[in-house]
């Protein structure tokens, strides 16, 4: 077998398996726990996860800079003194921030439940950001098998401990947070063991190097701010919902978002594998690879939207208390299409081409739009339906604008495909919201069939393109 193809398949296999395990654990948390712990407790759990999603902001782009600067390097060639020194400085920096967050929760937060969340958030920040450092080094050097092993251990331990507590009837959000923190700690220890030759050295290796730190932050700050802005796109809408409505409503909307994001796990797995490969690929081959990946990804994602209907049938019977949030899922489900394309194709290409400043620019534009729509839908109209619809509108806007940047850089044309994809997602959501399920399915299948026919020639060329790229 062609060595390139073999490496892609093997690395993708490890990444997909680790993310499959994550998906199974997420399914347990998303579908089983809401039935056991009650709506309000689940809302606090989702609030904790919401805050945790922003802990990456506090490395200030430090590890993003390392990822961008050394992407495609070989693990054995890493400068041990430089990476060990950066890790020690990074650890001290994260510890200070963690203590400040714990202090804030103890002094300024009055609600005892939210106070507990902030205390645990400080610990989680330290563990998570140190683990990010380890995982980024492994992914940067294309050690996908080992970085996947860290994720596998984390999710396995989390699921095992969680099931144990469920069996002894200890089901509350505090227990879930304790389990999450413990799993992060043990997986971090394992990650440090994997990178012990670089990160666990004698203190004599340490060298105070502010120039390297500043350069890493300077290089990675655009990407870090882009990631934070990306989170704020949906985050602002969720904050508006949490402020305008109660914690139970916040939990129900979060459940819908979590279910809609399950398919993103596989997309992220492939994106992890593709980045180091793009860094080592000749630039002249990048346009052909983009078109080929797009021709495979988009018909698949648009077809997967049909899974909404059997999933809805199961959820209605399994989680009757969340009937309202399940209803909204038809509006949110298409977000996976735009998030998937951004994660696998657009962001990966912009990072490989060192155009991360455009990721930041597009995300900031979308955050400004998000702020305006959030104020309009939650404060002015006070309409939960419009607030939820705005999530997909924002993600579609970001995706379309960002892909124009990539298409211009690569010299390719994707406008026709973009219009077709937006039209199909609108048909899916409008039909699912206003029509009975059977009529909505028939209408979408017909429209999807027309789309596939229009894409027939492109799909037939894709296999030949992949053979050419891998030769």
Q: Which residues does 235 contact at the CB level (< 8 Å), separation at least 6?
A: 50, 53, 54
Q: Report how far residue 61's alpha carbon sits from residue 218's, in angstroms, rounded to the nearest whole number.
A: 8
Q: Report how far residue 15's alpha carbon sits from residue 139's, in angstroms, rounded to the nearest whole number.
A: 10
Select from 271, 266, 270 the least CA-distant residue to 304: 266
Q: What is the DSSP letter of 30?
A: I
CB atoms within 10 A of CB 380: 9
Model confidence over 377-397: pLDDT tens digits? 888 888 888 888 898 899 899
Instruction: Examine the pLDDT at 191 and tell me if it is beyond 60.
Output: yes
Mean pLDDT, range 100-128, rounded to an integer: 90
Helical axes 247-260 vs 384-410, angle rounded to 10°: 40
Report the percent of the chain where pLDDT is more than 70. Answer: 86
Q: What is the pLDDT of residue 304?
A: 84
Instruction: Examine the pLDDT at 91 and tell me if it is beyond 70.
Output: yes
Helical axes 62-70 vs 80-108, angle rounded to 10°: 150
Select from 157, 176, 196 the least CA-distant residue to 78: 196
Domain map (residue ranges) of the chain: 1-208, 228-471
Q: Report how far residue 160's alpha carbon sits from residue 142's, in angstroms, rounded to the nearest whole number.
A: 29
* pLDDT, greater one: 203 or 252: 203
CA separation (Å) from 247 to 174, 195, 322? Answer: 16, 41, 13
pTM above 0.85, yes or no: no
117 close to 48: Cβ distance less than 8 angstroms = yes
Instruction: Examine the pLDDT at 4 and tell me if it is beyond 60.
Output: no
Q: Across all residues in the chain, what is the average pLDDT?
A: 81
């Amino acid at each position: 077998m062609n060595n390139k193809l073999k490496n892609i398949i093997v690395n993708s296999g490890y990444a997909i398996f680790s993310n499959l395990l994550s998906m199974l654990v997420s399914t347990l948390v998303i579908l089983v726990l809401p039935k056991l712990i009650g709506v309000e407790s689940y809302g606090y759990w989702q609030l904790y996860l919401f805050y945790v999603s922003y802990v990456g902001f506090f490395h200030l782009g430090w590890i993003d800079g390392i990822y961008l600067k050394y992407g495609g390097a070989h693990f054995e060639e890493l400068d041990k003194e430089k990476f060990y020194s950066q890790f020690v400085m990074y650890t001290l920096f994260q510890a200070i921030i963690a203590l400040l967050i714990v202090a804030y929760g103890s002094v300024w937060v009055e609600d005892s439940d939210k106070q507990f969340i902030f205390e645990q958030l400080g610990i989680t920040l330290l563990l998570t950001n140190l683990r990010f450092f380890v995982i980024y080094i492994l992914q940067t050097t294309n050690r996908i098998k080992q970085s996947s092993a860290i994720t596998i251990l984390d999710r396995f331990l989390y699921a095992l401990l969680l099931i144990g507590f469920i069996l002894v009837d200890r089901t509350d959000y505090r227990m879930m947070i304790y389990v999450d923190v413990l799993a992060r700690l043990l997986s971090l220890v394992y990650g440090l063991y994997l990178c012990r030759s670089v990160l666990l050295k004698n203190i004599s290796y340490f060298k105070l190097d502010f120039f390297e730190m500043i350069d890493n932050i300077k290089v990675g700050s655009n990407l870090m701010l882009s990631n934070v802005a990306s989170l704020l796109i949906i985050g602002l809408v969720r904050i508006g919902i949490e402020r305008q409505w109660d914690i139970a409503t916040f939990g129900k909307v979060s459940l819908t978002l979590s279910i809609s994001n399950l398919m993103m796990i596989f997309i992220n797995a492939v994106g992890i594998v593709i980045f180091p490969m793009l860094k080592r690929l000749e630039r002249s081959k990048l346009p052909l690879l983009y078109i080929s990946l797009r021709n495979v990804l988009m018909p698949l994602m648009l077809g997967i939207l049909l899974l909404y209907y059997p999933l809805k049938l199961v959820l209605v019977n399994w989680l009757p208390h969340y009937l309202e949030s399940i209803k909204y899922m038809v509006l949110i489900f298409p977000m996976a299409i735009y998030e998937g394309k951004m994660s696998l194709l657009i962001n990966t290409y912009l990072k490989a081409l060192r155009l991360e400043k455009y990721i930041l620019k597009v995300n900031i534009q979308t955050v400004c739009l998000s702020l305006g729509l959030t104020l309009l839908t939650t404060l002015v109209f006070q309409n939960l339906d419009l607030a939820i619809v705005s999530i997909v509108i924002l993600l579609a806007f970001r995706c379309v604008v960002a892909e124009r940047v990539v298409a211009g850089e690569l010299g390719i044309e994707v406008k026709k495909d973009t219009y077709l994809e937006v039209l199909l997602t609108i048909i899916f959501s409008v039909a699912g919201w206003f029509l009975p399920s059977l009529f909505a399915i028939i209408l979408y299948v017909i429209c999807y069939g027309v789309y596939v026919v229009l894409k027939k020639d492109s799909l037939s060329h894709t296999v030949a393109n992949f053979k050419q790229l891998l030769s």
